[in-house]
Amino acid sequence: MISFLNPLFLAALGALTLPLILHLIQSSRTERLPFSTVRFLKLAQKRSSRRIRMENLLLLILRLLLLALLALAFAMPILRTRNFGSLLSRTSRDVAIVLDGSYSMNYRLNQQSVWNQATELAAAIVEGLGDNDRFCIYLAGDQVTPICEQMTGKKDEATARLRALPMPVGSSRLCPATLAALGTLNQEGRRGERELHILSDHQMLPWVSFSAGGEGDATAGAAGSPDPVGDKWDPSAVQDNTTCFVTLLGTPNPENAAVLNVELEPRLITAQTPCQVTVNLKRTGTPLETAVHLLVDGKETARRSVMLGGEDEARLRFAFPPLEGGVHTAQVTTPDDSLTEDNAFHFLIHVRERLPALCVGSKENALFLRTALSVSADAEAVSSVEVKNISVAELGGENLSAYSCVFLCNVLPLPGQQISLLERYAAAGGLIVLFPGDGAAVSDYAQWNSLPATPAAITEWPLEKRKQLLTWVLPQHPSIRGLVEGGIAPRVVIKRQLQCETLKEKAQVVVATSAGVPFLINRPAGRGAVVMLTVSADRSWSDFPLSAFYLPLAHQLIQYAAGVGARPPYLWATDSLSLNEFLPEATRHSTLSAPNGQPVPLRSVMVEGEAVAYAEGLMAPGIYKLSTPGGGGAQPALAINMLREESDLATVKPADISSILGVSALHVATGKEDLMKQLEDFRIGRSLGEALLWLTLLVAVVEVLYANSLLRKTAKLTDTMKIAPSGRVKEKEA
């Protein structure tokens, strides 16, 4: 559609009638006059009149076109792609804005972050709307957050909110936020014109959710926001009167090095144990040698360099000497770049003076196990295990959370209360190692919910079958890792053995006998695990306590327990965290402080009659400290890092967005200036005034050249008639 900014100038088109009238008048005034000698004139007229008429008509058309183009150019015609109504009385529009709130938007270019560009652009879009226009704004962060949830026209309030938004620290939920914005637009939009704006960087990651069919629970973070299209992307949600604008900010060629994660070996470390940390790194962009620093308690412990480039990943290992007992803060860093949020990775190193183990059972039943744990696997070193032996009657008074592992040595049957106590301990991250014995019948095992298998009988092996060869079924399982030599375990003499009927869910046979009977079975239980052996801890069922396999297995189980029950060295940023699970020492009187020293909000929720404390808003990366009454000051408690998926800066091509969204009415801009030009062309139209002026100039030049050529081509009478100097006509033109 074409409209005009100065339609009054179209009246100048009436001037076109003047040349026509003059032409007609001139043609009607032709008179015939008798002349005595008209032979030469008639002959000339006959030969040239037709050509002259055509040439004059073409010249007239050029001059009329010149006048018409001048009138149209001054009228300022606007070419519009869609009918938005008259320019002087256009309809109002509804606009929905979706702002990418992932920390990749913190990428800095020329001392300005992409996030600042995005918020300023969103504010510019709002400020460019008319007084009768309405809009809504959604932030696509870890949760879909409405900035203006309902359609509103309060531009000043909205722009103030946009400019006050903090720097993003999470991941992007771009698809759910877009669905929420469309829900508001489709439900509340009553205007003839609708626009959907998506403001993001060049990162590919936020767009994956569209092609993957959403991210589940799309609008869960936007309380009360309408969601008529569900939680999966559907191009039909974009109605016919809605035009999409996608603006990609920042650079299409980002450069970034990131520490993805770290791995501690072993997870729980004793004061006598050296350890190492494996660092996983990734770089986006051109190859570059990257320096990696390891800091422990604020002091640089090690430094390495690695060449990274493209989408390469690398693994570096740092070894450091034994540390003193306690909790140590650690950090892996890379040089500062345009995205600083992933240049440091925080973690904690928990160092125990000794690993506490609890043996439950009589001194006779626990003798071999207690002796094995009290002796170091290394003959020249002191055992890192601190063993305590208690009776079944004393079990109820023990704080099981203080122990890495609980060994049950022929203590069944147990009261249901004590079984519940033990299973809660395992679920909280502890390890239970169960040895059978003569005191329990097969039915006594049925009271347990977390056992790896269901016992069927206690088998007495005949003499000819007592010698059994132990075999490794899962040699890489952490309960026996490092004990495998040649793939075969030692021979043992088994007189009596617990036969298991069926394995329970997630249970694994780690060691078996040559007869195919399970010997050691493992099963996860919550954050912990339960290990069940099928022979007793003493010599009453086998000579296993005398084998060379017994002592290293006991110590390996302690190390396995340390890994199972150890607190994670780091956590990912989250909105809510259960302190009961990760900080069981915390009480309702405890105080958790963020890396900047500000207190973290805590709330208590009753779950199954038990008070569970939650920490809110653990989004800032760094070390969080816990203060408990009588605890002697704040101590490092949590290491929080932002999810590293946003560190993958692989880019999306503007041409791919059309296929990703699947909508026809789509405009993709790269930067603020590009978007504003597209909006001007879309909302107002593309001005043809300049093009018409150039065309007018071209027509004027053509008219002048053509008119001059006609003057030069006007034939003289003597030339036309071939008149000789004597006055005779030599010949006629064909």
**Burial annotation 80-115 (CB, 10 A radius, 16+ → b, else e):** beeebeeeeebebbbbbbbbbbbbbbbbeeeeebbb
C-alpha torsion angle, residues 81, 85, 91, 94 (rounded to 10): -20
pLDDT(159) > 70 = yes
pLDDT tens digit string along 367-381? Answer: 999 999 888 655 444
As a dihedral over the C-alpha atoms of residue 173, residue 175, residue 176, residue 180, rounded to 10 degrees, the angle is 130
The residue whose two tokens read 């160092």 is 351
For residues 38 and 344, which has the higher predicted lDDT (pLDDT)? 344
Which has more pLDDT, 227 or 435? 435
Mean pLDDT, to the nearest integer, of 85-93?
52
DSSP letter for 651, please.
Answer: B
End-to-end CA distance of the chain: give it in Å, rounded: 53
pLDDT tens per residue, range 682-692:
776 556 667 77
CA 527 to chain centre: 27
Tell me the C-alpha distance between 93 and 82, whole Å: 13
DSSP state for residue 168 in the 8-state scheme:
P
Percent helix / strand / coil, the chain, rounded to 5: 30, 35, 35
pLDDT over threshold 90, residue 681: no
- pLDDT tens-digit map of 286-322: 888 889 999 999 999 999 988 887 667 889 999 888 8
Q: State residue 566's pLDDT score.
A: 67
What's the average model confidence in pLDDT over 373-396? 77
430-455: burial string, b at 16+ Cβ within 10 Å, e else: bbbbbbbbeebeeeebeebebbbbeb
Distance, in Å, from the CA atom of 201 to the CA atom of 339, rounded to the nearest integer, reads: 13
The mean pLDDT of 59-84, rounded to a whole number, is 69
What span, in angstroms and rounded, lies between the C-alpha atoms of 505 and 503?
Answer: 7
Q: What 3-state class would DSSP assign to 681?
A: helix
CA 402 to CA 409: how far, in whole Å? 19
Q: Residue 176's closest CA among 230, 134, 135? A: 230
Are 511 and 473 in contact, with CB atoms under 8 Å apart? yes
Which of 638, 617, 621, 612 is closest to 575 using CA atoms?
A: 617
Backbone phi, then psi, for 344, in 5-degree steps? -135, 140
What is the DSSP pairing of strand 93-100 with strand 193-201?
parallel
Q: Under DSSP, is residue 212 helix (H, G, I), strand (E, B) or coil?
A: coil
Cite the DSSP H helix spans in 583-731: 654-661, 672-683, 689-713, 717-721
- Could you tell me where the beta strands, DSSP code E, fall in 430-481? 431-435, 453-460, 467-472
What's the DSSP call for residue 123? Answer: H
Q: Residues 434, 365: contact at Cβ < 8 Å? A: no
* Average confidence score pLDDT of the chain: 82
pLDDT in tens, 623-650: 999 988 776 678 899 999 998 888 888 8
Cα–Cα distance for residue pair 111/219, rounded to 1 Å: 34
DSSP string for 13-44:
GGGGHHHHHHHHHHHHT------S--HHHHHH
Please check the confidence at residue 520 and state whether its pLDDT lies above 80.
Answer: yes
Identify residue 595 by its one-letter amino acid code: P
Say whether pLDDT at 330 is over 70: yes
Tell me the C-alpha to C-alpha distance, in Å, between residue 277 and each of 280, 284, 294, 639, 642. 10, 23, 9, 15, 19
436 pLDDT higher than 60: yes
Percent of the chain whose pLDDT exceeds 70:
79
pLDDT digits (tens, 9 = 90+) for 186-203: 887 666 688 999 999 999
Cα atoms in the 13 Å half-sphere on the side-chain side of 337: 21
The answer to whether the beta carbons of residues 729 and 718 sit under 8 Å apart is no
Residue 347 tokens, joined: 């973690």
% of the chain beyond a pLDDT of 90 = 34
Residue 242 CA to residue 641 CA, distance in Å, equals 39
pLDDT reported for residue 380:
47
Strand 112-113 relative to strand 108-109, pairing: antiparallel
Q: Is 93 helix (H, G, I), strand (E, B) or coil?
A: strand
Mean pLDDT calculated for residue range 23-35 = 57
**Which pLDDT does position 32 carry in this prediction?**
58
Question: Does residue 720 surpass a pLDDT of 70?
Answer: no
- For 383, residues 6+ apart whose C-beta sits below 8 A from its C-beta are 354, 373, 374, 375, 376
CB 242 within 8 A of CB 274: no
Is residue 40 very low, low, confident or very high in pLDDT (cuts 50, 70, 90)?
Answer: low
| Rounded mean pLDDT, 679-703 | 75
Please check the confidence at residue 719 and state whether its pLDDT lies above 70: no
Tens-digit pLDDT profile for residues 253-284: 998 899 999 998 876 677 777 888 999 998 88
The pLDDT of residue 608 is 67
Is residue 438 within 8 A of residue 539, CB to CB? The reply is: no
Residue 231 contacts residue 655 (beta carbons within 8 Å) = no
Has residue 12 got a pLDDT over 80?
A: no
For 170-188, letters b (16+ CB in 10 Å) and e give bbbbbbbbbbbbbbbbbeb
Q: Is 250:117 a contact under the CB 8 Å cutoff?
A: yes
- Omega before 599 cis (within 30°)? no
The residue whose two tokens read 């399970």 is 518
